[in-house]
Amino acid sequence: MLNQSTHEQGTSWLKSILIAVVIVFILRTFIFSPFIVDGASMEPTLHDRERIFVSKTSSWIGEIKRGDIIIIKGTENNYVKRVIALPGDVLEMKSDLLFINNKKVKEPYLKENKIIADKKGMLLTGDFGPLTIPAKQYFVMGDNRLESGDSRNLLGYIDEKNIIGKSKLVFFPIKNVRITN
């Protein structure tokens, strides 16, 4: 005969709920977290008020690569930007062309913004460099270069300890669900 007392059933439910809470805490603290995009600095890749899932494993596995979209811990706000240059890279911008270690780098994520800038007779990114990125530091920019506060003008080099994680997925609004890159 299967007959549990009410006390045993309550204890069983409490254990299940406690285990679920611990699992969620571990996942959100160490594996992934949701974030809200605030502003237009990453247009058209990410849009204002979109919600994204961020993988936090990069902070302890060290998998940050050029082109990754990362979340940066600021003093008052978090920022979402694209990694342009890695520690030790030599970075230079000339006539809207990106050069890393004296090699031209394609930036396909800028295509729409370049079309808009060309129509206005403007450059997306002013010339600068060459800059050598210090050890354990990253150089980041927003995809909407005309509207972005980033390593060029606001944030400076990004210390690896201030990188929260990498954007992986837009999950809201539902019609915009997509993998980020």
Residues marked active site are found at 41, 81
In a 13 Å sphere around the CA of 148, the CA atoms on its Cβ side amount to 26
Is residue 124 included in any domain, yes or no?
yes
Q: How many domains does the chain have?
A: 1
* CATH number of the domain encompassing residue 146: 2.10.109.10
Is residue 59 included in any domain, yes or no?
yes
Domain membership of residue 53 as a residue range: 6-179
Position with higher pLDDT, 72 vs 29: 72
Alpha carbon distance 95, 73 (integer Å): 31
Is residue 65 included in any domain, yes or no?
yes
Closest CA to 80 of 57, 53, 107: 53
Is residue 1 included in any domain, yes or no?
no
**pLDDT tens by residue, 87-131:** 999 999 999 999 999 999 999 999 888 888 888 888 889 899 999
Is residue 55 included in any domain, yes or no?
yes
Reported pTM: 0.83
In contact, 32 and 53? CB cutoff 8 Å:
yes
